[in-house]
Structure 1
Amino acid sequence: MSLKITKPIVSVGWLQDNLEHKNLIILDCTIPKVTEKSNTVKSDEKTQIKGAIFFDIKNTFSDVNGKFPNTILSSKEFEYKAQELGINTDSFIVCYDDLGIYSSPRVWWMFQLMGFTNVAVLDGGFPEWIANKYPIENQQKNSRSKGDFKVNYQSEKIKFTKDILNAINNETILIADARSKGRFNSTEPEPRSDVKGGHIPNSVSLPFSEIIENGTFKSEAALKVIFKEINPEKKPFIFSCGTGITASVLALGAEISGSKNYAVYDGSWTEWGSTENLPIEI
């Protein structure tokens, strides 16, 4: 019997109980945090959840020739590369990262964009797994035979700069920014020196850290309150951040809270803040 998604996050206890299931695929989605370069781990020291496959966001599952970091692949490229990892149409995917809740929701969102919904994020990620003394191994390449994964692209889940330009004066849409309040208000510098400070006009600040507590997502009830407070009229969300990573944390938080009407601005502030002639608020 195949595992099926019931919620977009799973606990470390659930994953441990299902670790040997034949259609389970565990993806290590770790990337270094752009604002904390010291978080990088030397490859000879890195460990992973037993049986995990490394999902290389930066070098394999982003457009490496793109002008901005982490921008999404074409649907055909994504399909091919997911098949190469051994992902099948009946796979149950669990995404995690070494920082707890950081880059794994980006991968969850990528699969949602590609029309694959049997995917969840490990709540608390690798730190929670380690804290529970569940099985790990030194980083290694756990290869699988080529899968039969198919894309069913969901274009409404992604937005581009032209869409944001149309949205900023549209009172029926709410743009929420996952960066820190300091970056939103330009009282902290951007990590990238060529990117201006400030925020997209008429956007609201919702730092992704505000929906996380002790390394895991806040409760469903707490998330409902947070998202209702910033969006009482239940407008469609567009989530933005620095490069589309933590915007996906907000997308997952919205999904947990019961909100389905959201999209991620793929280029996010790195694109907006480095493109000439786009309006900026401080």
Structure 2
Amino acid sequence: MLREVTGIRYVTPLREGGSVPGVVEADDLGTYVVKFVGAAQGRKALIAEVIAGELGRRLGLRVPELVRFDFDPVIGLGEPDQEIQDLMKASGGLNLGMDFLPGALGFDPLVFEVEPELAGRIIWFDALIGNVDRSWRNPNMLVWHKNVWLIDHGASLIWHHNWKSAAASSDRPYDASDHALARFGPDPAAAAAELAPMVTDELLTEVTALVPDEWLVDEPGFDSPDDVRAAYRELLLARAAGIHQRIRTEQAEKQKQPPPQWLRTWVEGKNAK
């Protein structure tokens, strides 16, 4: 089970994404970016965050710690935005928290360099989970202490929005031509040779078990939360075996433009600190 914390102070909303997560302090003295179950994307976005994030961590990729986050809307009464208030009121109880990385910079593929090996590993991982939200326009990666961290996996596992067509949907090619790391010479096949054997039924059983039952109940077509977990395992096992053969990595022309010198100098100064 994921570690559980309780929110004690609502700090501020983050308006960059459609789910409007919030920065919240917890009773363990930590600060978290909280994804709310009452957001428009609903509980499936949180399921995707848990499965994708914890799977990525077990494959050696950097993902901020995820926690079960108990949230009482009363701690956000000082928030003046009525829309945010409505979101919090709809999200009392169990939500998902991600460790807040203070001082992290948003990843820009025209500024930061990534080794081809790591680029290949991340692209293969994104193909495995069907992540459609890691483009060069919106990388959903942070640079913290000179390392790349992966965030925001709520848009992955897109087939779980329609389980009846999930098998056919998961067999489609993965278009990585606009991926934020396509410009760094990735080799998804080499990454697959290393990572695919790690994606076992045992590993996926461990990962899917971290999804709370209350986010899996009443799923149409399934009798129990464990049946839903089994469906995730089956699809991910099948994808791990051959998804590298269906990855398109032709680099988008717009990604080939070099960054301006002033921006490179600014980032070098930030990294030197």
User: Would you tell me which structure has more helix in proportion to its own residues?
Assistant: 2
